[in-house]
Amino acid sequence: MHGGGGVTSMNIWVAAAILFFCILASALFSASETAMTAASRARMHALEKQGGARAAMVNRLLGGRDRLIGTMLLGNTLFNIGSSALLTTVLVAMVGESGALYATIAMTVLLLVFAEVLPKTIAINYPDRTSLIVAPIVSVFVTVFGPILYMVEAVVRGALHLCGLRLDDKHALLSPQEELKSAVDLMHKEGGVARADRDMFGGLLDLKELAVSDVMVHRTKMVALDADAPIADLVREVVASPYTRVPLWRGTPDNIIGVLHAKDLLRAMSDANGDGSQVRLEPITVAPWFVPDTTTLEAQLQAFRKRKTHFALVVDEYGDVQGLVTLEDILEEIVGDIRDEHDVAVVGVRRQTDGSVIVEGSAPIRDLNRVMAWDLPDEEATTIAGLVIHEARAIPEQGQKFTFHGFRFEVLRKQRNRITLLRLTPEQKAEGREA
């Protein structure tokens, strides 16, 4: 034996027991820190609502995240330093000054494997279960270390203040809606959420961000009838139309005077025994409802519910009619296309055998993304033609080709200043065709 007082076998066993306890405690703090930061707040909230006391404890601890992390770091540091100092003292007493080197090597291996990697691996794979198990123990340490952590936090805040940083000025990089969408998108990529469910959830969150102008039927696509036309012609047009509500205009198509419901027209014809000359449009025409094109879909949905109507005309800041929006248009942003036996499936989109897709210029980008599982941006343009014009910074000529966002765009047809038909080819397939 070397050293001053020597080391008895009993002292060695006591030191080994204390060392084992310190490493175990360090592992507990490492696992707790990892599990608590990785635990699902949503799942803990659901468990708390079901009466889970431990879930409520986890949520309370996560509510004071700074204090929680401080406790984990303080406990980890104390037990790591304590175990290292103990083993160093024992080995120096046993083998002399070289014992410090042996203690450093031994503690590095022990702490790395058993107090860091092993517990954190378990915690990161089972964060919720681990959090529920360690919550009572962690809660005790948070309470015990409270006064020390208060002083530590004061020192940290003072140091950050000297560096020009304030913890109170927190600015989230993403809004809560964006965080939810990102979480669902990640779960979809990992295979936990189907694409249809992801799109539905994303559409629901987008109601706050989208305006009625993003989903409306543009005035160039509107079915509107002349109120002064013969009743027989109106009946024929209404029956041929796939819509139940049709705007009526007088003088010019921009002068909308009312909205005619097909059921009201047919009922009036029935009451007149089929004699169109006896039918008057005024009593069966509903006054038009005009809404600004900047109205959000969420606000418009609430307005539809409040007014108990399904149809509104969209006007710009000058009061000119830009299109129309229906309750179905908004619901389709959530659940996808709603089709009945009178609807045409995916209007303006035709798949080609070579992998390309022929698309009408007026096709909405959001609809294409849903139907084709694409990810074209729709922030700067609503239609696919608008996207091409935005990216080209000009109105392209027929036959021009562009490549952006992973697709090759070819202008197939153009009428005046409008792009009416495009061919879209994914870059991989476009390269294959040229090879």
DSSP string for residues in 156-215: HHHHHHHTT--TT----SS-HHHHHHHHHHHHHHTTSS-HHHHHHHHHHHHTTT-BHHHH
Q: What is the mean pLDDT of residues 4-13?
A: 65
Contacts of 356 (CB under 8 A, 6+ apart): 423, 424, 425, 429, 430
Question: Do the beta carbons of residue 278 and residue 251 sit within 8 Å?
Answer: no
Q: Which helix (H) or strand (E) holds 413?
A: strand 407-415
Distance (Å, rounded) from C-alpha 414 to C-alpha 429? 25
The pLDDT confidence band at residue 1, using thresholds 50, 70 and 90, is very low
> Hey, is 408 helix, strand or coil?
strand
- Strand-pairing partners, residue 351, are 357
Domains of the chain, by residue range, sit at 9-162, 176-206, 212-335, 349-434
Report which residue type is found at 420: T
- pLDDT computed for residue 169 by the predictor: 56
Question: Do the beta carbons of residue 44 and residue 62 sit within 8 Å?
Answer: yes
Q: What is the mean pLDDT of residues 206-216?
A: 85
How many angstroms separate the Cα of 383 from the Cα of each of 312, 337, 351, 418? 21, 17, 18, 12
The pLDDT confidence band at residue 433, using thresholds 50, 70 and 90, is low
Residue 336 has pLDDT above 50, yes or no: yes
Residue with tokens 């979809």: 188
245-250 vs 225-226, strand pairing mode? parallel
Distance (Å, rounded) from C-alpha 363 to C-alpha 123? 48
Distance (Å, rounded) from C-alpha 3 to C-alpha 427? 75
Contacts of 213 (CB under 8 A, 6+ apart): 293, 294, 314, 322, 323, 382
Topology adopted by domain 349-434: 3.30.465
**pTM for this one?**
0.57
- Count of Cβ atoms closer than 10 Å to residue 364 Cβ: 19
Give φ, ψ of 173 to 5 degrees.
-70, -35
Q: What is the mean pLDDT of residues 81-93?
A: 87
> Hey, is 322 helix, strand or coil?
strand
Question: Do the beta carbons of residue 395 and residue 335 sit within 8 Å?
Answer: no
**Mean confidence (pLDDT) of the chain:** 83
- Strand-pairing partners, residue 311, are 326
Is 349-434 the same fold as 212-335? no
Task: Check if CATH label 3.10.580.10 holds for domain 212-335.
Answer: yes
**What are the tens digits of pLDDT across the range 135-189?**
999 999 888 887 887 787 778 778 877 887 766 655 555 566 666 666 677 766 7
Least confident piece of the model among 46-60, 118-132, 335-349: 335-349
Question: Do the beta carbons of residue 149 and residue 74 sit within 8 Å?
Answer: yes
Distance (Å, rounded) from C-alpha 243 to C-alpha 238? 8
